[in-house]
Amino acid sequence: MVDLSLKIKTTTFKNPIMTASGTFGYGDECKDFFDISILGAIITKSISLLPRTGNKPPRIYEVNSGMLNSIGLANVGVEKFITDKLPSISKYSTNIIVNVVGNTIEEYEKVIERLDDYESICGYEVNISCPNVKEGGLQFGTSLKMTEQVVKSVRKKTNKILIIKLTPNVTKISDFALAAEYEGAEAVSLVNTFVGMAVDHKKRKPYLSTITGGFSGPAIKPMALAKIYEVYKVLSIPIIGLGGIMSVEDVIEFFLVGASAVEIGTANFIYPDTCEKIINGLYRYFEVNKINTLKDIIGQLQT
């Protein structure tokens, strides 16, 4: 019998399919497309201490095999998230992980402190890797020292699952993953978007108001796989993989290079029921290939 469950810390996930922050709203925007309760976890859009309007438009642009975005972490802020969003998503029979952002380490701490008493939240994905904001984001995620400080500080504020979302826009991502593990993270998620840009050659102007943005979609999958493979060779805690996943076959590739779970991102914009299709497809794939558990395939790349 196929068992797709996994455990991170003391929390059991019914399957390894999660939603990537920023691609699934606050958690229930796709409820009319499929039963959200089948997900291994909902990872919310980034939540900050105060509301954010984000960057000025244009802030999304489609390119070959992917998309550029410069949303700028627009969100309602932690107070309205608690009153307006959390009650709704808490009704679903799935794990809730809140993606947390801050301009300063103190803001990360305050958001987690404000959320930590809510039992429906099983953990946090600490976003230190967004390329679309002037403060926070890559400021923390591209500095090994700052990464250590953020993880060390937020670890003191919660006993719940702590996932550190890493940027690929560094020379050696495994160093950052090891720093997160050393300072107490239970998992890392990678990769966030690559820095990219698009140019209108007729107007001689960038398509995004911020000039550059985060590049995601199928085109980044080979690079994401390489980063996960690098990290898996040195890390002891689970890796949650993301970057260009569109199909069941993509998910299997992420497992083989070392991911214990995956997040579905840009695919949700194209087909909002992608997660459901992948979960169903995973059961079929495991049955056909006589794979019983995730442990039978994670890190089993033959080199």
C-alpha distance from residue 290 to each of 3, 40, 277 (Å): 11, 22, 20
- In single-letter form, the type of residue at position 260 comes to S
C-alpha distance from residue 211 to each of 67, 182, 194, 195, 200 (Å): 14, 36, 14, 10, 11
Q: Is 83 exposed, middle or buried (0-12, 13-18, 19+ CB in 10 A)?
A: exposed
In DSSP terms, 124 is beta-bridged to 98, 162
In terms of residues, how long is the chain? 303
Supply the residues annotated as catalytic.
130
- CB-hemisphere CA count at 13 Å for 22? 25
